[in-house]
Amino acid sequence: MHAIEVSHLTKKFGALTALNDVNFSVDVGETFGFLGPNGAGKTTTIRILTGISYPTSGTATIFGHDIGSDTIAARLSMGIVSETSNVYDDLTAWQNMIFSAELYHVGRVEREKKAAELLTTFDLYERRNDKVHGFSKGMKRRLTIAMGLVNSPRLLFLDEPTSGLDVQSNLIIRDVITGLIHEGVTVFLTTHNIEEANLMCDRVAIVNRGHIAAIDAPERLKKTIQSAQSIVVSFDRVSARQLEEVRSLPMVNDAIKEGDKFRLYTEDPATVIESVMEYARTRNLRVISISTLGPSLEDVFIKLTGLQRTGGAIHAID
Amino acid sequence: MPSTEEGKAGAWFARVSHEISAAWAISRKDMITYYIKPNIIVMGILFPFFMFLAFAIGKNAPPGTLIPGLIAITLLFSASSIEPVSIPIERRVKTFDRLLSAPISLHSLVFGESLSGFLYSLGIACFPLIVGIILFATPIEHVPVLVIAMALTAFCFATLGTLFAAYPTENVGEVMSMLNTVRLPLIFISGVFIPLSAMPQIGQDIALLSPLTYGNDMIAYAYTGTSLFSPLLDILVLVIFILIFQFAANRLYKRFNE
Ligand SMILES: Nc1ncnc2c1ncn2[C@@H]1O[C@H](COP(=O)(O)OP(=O)(O)OP(=O)(O)O)[C@@H](O)[C@H]1O
Ligand SMILES: [Mg+2]
């Protein structure tokens, strides 16, 4: 049995098709990433899988329970962390936790224990009797995640858990999620943070405009686009025209500036290294560092979603 | 096989008790969060009071006789004011998604929401009740009937509020203005200010469609011992209204939830 099984899921909002015949399944214990640009349909997918929204057609099951017809059983095993930190501002952190536990039928003794434990983990225990009203963005995010864990879910939905947070909140959240993964909790994670997906997920689905463009392990996805190898080089001096100049070197497909370095995309790293050295000699530049990189998940993402790099920024092409 | 029957009964009982405790948690959350919101205090307490004052002054009747009607409209306005405020706000801050995605039935959600309006209005309606007893020594003929009448009227209008709040908006004003186009006329056609017998036939016919008619009638019976309908009929009709509102709300929440 799969933790999640999605079959021919389509969702239309009037004329807009938010999801178009989406199929995938997530194994028990797997960490599954849903990676896609804004408007790809990530949140729509979670809303359907949690039974808040209904599909136009297609089905979804959670541990074998159909989300449409066996909704309550399906939901009992879930924890849901939505995109916005939807906490009750007028309740205290503690009251928020207890309320969430009550909705999920967690018994009295168990819920107090669990609430105390989770608030401690998320570094909120000291503030438990304060109204959430005055909490910072990161604290609200942490509380939202803690509320999603209060029923010890076997399946956790995380809709962009760490977007827009500082390093400390980020670290706490990633640590907790990693811990849950080790305990065997199935995690469904949406993100547009490619590095996060790369680090945490067993498999990643790349979604774009309601389509799944690819599903595979991050490493295997990278292998599919060997053409996107790159050279990263830095020179001792930086000038305005360098980017244009290195981009026009032979065998270079594209070039972007990454901080004080240039990244040159190529199918033939050896030749490009030679021409970079040659270029440096003619311009009287010294090469400070140079290295070859395999394709990144970002490259896969860009290729599959039809986005295009121009001068270091990423733009959508229509 | 008694053991499986028992098992089934046990599972059913556990399920129902879960649903009830979740509904209770929802209404407790509403109590802490919304009872003191300005919108609710204005629409739920001040409005019915001033409305009534205006009519009472014009009517020139002994103030004690006005208490039953004041209780009826206080119940109407306070019970139906909580959900139309709380639910659009919860939609806006997305906490409503929590309720919609919880492992509870939609009926429990509707019931839990209504419960907070119900308790709120019973609390508020104690003011006119106590004022009647202390200041005007208004006699109450049938206390148990009054308790049942107030409870049913309160629950009926709380569910009406939940029903209107199903309209999928994040704007409190939108729900309130829809609700007011219904509940303001109710106070004129339900025998609160103008006795039904003094109304033209068409008015009397319309009054039969208003739940407030029956709530007001039953409260009047509890106070004076005389009424238009038998209290049993009032109870029956109020229960039917509650069920209609509950099921309609259930349907609408499902439907508007794309
Ligand atoms: N309730 C709705 N009514 C109409 N259109 C909607 C609704 N919800 C989502 N959409 C549309 O469906 C598409 C997918 O939206 P969705 O929120 O799932 O994207 P997402 O991948 O989560 O994006 P983001 O990264 O910005 O969170 C978008 O075009 C969005 O405008
Ligand atoms: Mg989203």
Pairing of strands A65-66, A229-235: unpaired
Alpha-carbon gap: A67 to the closest alpha carbon of chain B (Å): 11
Residue of chain A nearest B93, judged by CA positions: A86
| pLDDT at residue B220, rounded to an integer | 92
- The Cα A146–Cα A189 span in angstroms is 16
Average pLDDT over residues A123-142: 94
Chain centroid, CA B242 distance in Å: 9
**Residues for chain A: how many in total?**
318
CB contact (8 A) between residue A75 and residue B18: no
Output the pLDDT for position A125.
Answer: 96
Phi, psi of B57 (to 5 degrees): -65, -40
Instruction: Determine the CATH number of domain A4-217.
Output: 3.40.50.300
- Which one of B17, B34, B98 would you mutate to disrupt binding with A, by most A Cβ within 10 Å of its Cβ? B98
What is residue A20's predicted lDDT score, i.e. its pLDDT? 94
| Cβ–Cβ under 8 Å, residues B24 and B112 | yes
Query: A75 in contact with B at a CB cutoff of 8 Å?
Result: yes
Residue B258 to residue A91, Cβ atoms within 8 A = no
Chain-chain contact of A89 with B18 (C-beta, under 8 angstroms): no
Give distance in angstroms: CA of A48 to centre of ligand 1: 12
Cβ–Cβ < 8 Å for A49, A67: yes
Please name which ligand lies nearest the alpha carbon of A45: 1
CATH of A223-315, one of 1.10.3720.10, 3.30.465.10, 3.30.750.24, 3.30.70.980: 3.30.70.980
pTM for the structure as a whole = 0.85
User: What is the pLDDT at residue A318?
Assistant: 33
Question: According to the model, what pLDDT value does residue A314 have?
Answer: 45
Across the interface, of A86, A99, A103, the residue whose CB is closest to B94 is A86
Q: Cβ(A75)–Cβ(A31) under 8 Å? A: no
Q: What is the average per-residue pLDDT within A41-65?
A: 95
Exposure on the CB side of residue B30, measured as CA atoms within 13 A: 34
Question: What are the sequence ranges of the domains in chain A?
Answer: 4-217, 223-315
| pLDDT over 90 at A194, yes or no | no
Does A140 contact chain B (CB < 8 Å)? no
- Quote ipTM for the complex: 0.89
Which stretch of A18-32, A254-268, B102-116, B226-240 has the lowest confidence by average pLDDT? A254-268
User: Does residue A313 register a pLDDT over 70?
Assistant: no
Please answer whether residues A101 and A133 qualify as being in contact, where contact means their C-beta atoms are separated by less than 8 angstroms: no
% of chain A with per-residue pLDDT over 90? 63
| Ligand 1 pocket check for A163: Cβ under 6 Å | no
Q: What are the tokens at A108?
A: 């009295």
- Let me know: does A235 contact A246? Beta carbons within 8 Å: no
The CB of A170 under 6 Å from ligand 1? The reply is no
Give A170 to chain B, closest Cα distance, Å: 22
In the predicted model, what is the mean pLDDT of chain A?
A: 89
Contact at 8 Å (CB) between B65 and A69?
A: no
The closest residue, in CA terms, to atom 17 on ligand 1 is A43
A39 lines ligand 1 (CB under 6 A): yes
- Interface size between A and B, measured as CB pairs under 8 A: 66
Closest atom of ligand 1 to A11 CA is 12
For A126, A194, A220, A231, A245, the CA distances from A298, given in Å and listed in that order, are: 40, 6, 13, 15, 24
> Which chain B residue has the Cα nearest residue A83?
B94
Of the candidates B51, B50, B52, B69, the residue with the CA atom closest to the CA atom of residue B190 = B69
For residue A315, pLDDT beyond 60: no
* pLDDT tens, chain B, 258 aa long: 455 777 788 888 888 999 999 999 999 999 998 887 777 777 777 877 787 777 777 777 777 778 888 899 999 999 999 999 999 999 999 999 999 999 999 999 999 999 999 999 999 998 889 888 888 888 888 999 999 999 999 999 999 999 999 999 999 999 999 999 999 888 888 888 778 888 888 888 899 999 999 999 999 999 988 888 999 999 999 999 999 999 999 999 998 877
Interchain proximity B99–A90, CB inside 8 Å: no
Give residue A226's pLDDT.
Answer: 64
SS3 string, chain A, reads CCCEEEEEEEEEECCEEEEEEEEEEECCCCEEEEECCCCCCHHHHHHHHCCCCCCCEEEEEECCEECCCCHHHHHHCEEEECCCCCCCCCCEHHHHHHHHHHHCCCCHHHHHHHHHHHHHHCCCHHHCCCEHHHCCHHHHHHHHHHHHCCCCCCEEEEECCCCCCCHHHHHHHHHHHHHHHHCCCEEEEEECCHHHHHHHCCEEEEEECCEEEEEECHHHHHHCCHHHEEEEEEECCCCCCHHHHHHCCCCCCEEEEECCEEEEEECCHHHHHHHHHHHHHHHCCCEEEEEEECCCHHHHHHHHHCEEEECCEEEECC
pLDDT of residue B3: 57
Residues of B in contact with A90 (CB under 8 A): 32-33
Q: Choose among B68, B42, B41: nearest CA to B56.
A: B68
Of A29, A1, A302, the residue nearest A188 (C-alpha) = A29
pLDDT, tens digit, for every residue of A98-123?
999 999 999 999 999 999 999 999 99
More confidently predicted of B190 and A93: A93
Domain limits of chain B?
2-256
Cβ(A54) – ligand 1 distance below 6 Å = no
> Which residues, including other chains, have CB under 8 Å from residue B107's CB and lie 6 or more apart?
B19, B246, B250
Best of A10, A19, A34, A43 for a ligand 1 pocket test (most atoms within 8 Å of beta carbon)? A43
- Cβ–ligand 1 distance for A41 under 6 Å, the answer yes
A13 lines ligand 1 (CB under 6 A): yes
Ligand 1 center to A210 CA (angstroms) = 10
Range from A77-86, A203-212, B93-102, B241-250 carrying the lowest mean pLDDT: A203-212
Distance A208 CA to ligand 1 centre (A): 12
Q: Does residue A18's CB lie within 6 angstroms of at least one atom of ligand 1?
A: yes
CB B18 within 8 A of CB A105: yes
Are β-strands A211-216 and A203-208 bridged in parallel, bridged antiparallel, or unpaired?
A: antiparallel
Q: For testing the chain A interface, which of B12, B20, B29, B255 should be mutated: the one with the most A CBs within 10 Å?
A: B29
Please calculate the CA angle A24-B255-B111 and round it to the nearest 5 degrees: 110
A231 has a pLDDT exceeding 60: yes
The pLDDT assigned to B61 comes to 72
Contact call for residues A272 and A264 (beta carbons, < 8 A):
yes
Q: Which of A163-172, A304-313, B44-53 has the lowest mean pLDDT?
A: A304-313
**Mean pLDDT of the A292-307 span:** 74
Q: What per-residue confidence (pLDDT) applies to A225? A: 67
Q: Do B29 and B95 touch, CB atoms closer than 8 A?
A: no
Element (H, E) at B87: helix B82-92
Evaluated on CA atoms A299, A301, A302, A304, the torsion sign reads positive
CB contact under 8 A, B25 and A103: yes
Q: State both tokens at A195.
A: 């590095």
Report whether A303 contacts A228 (CB < 8 A): yes
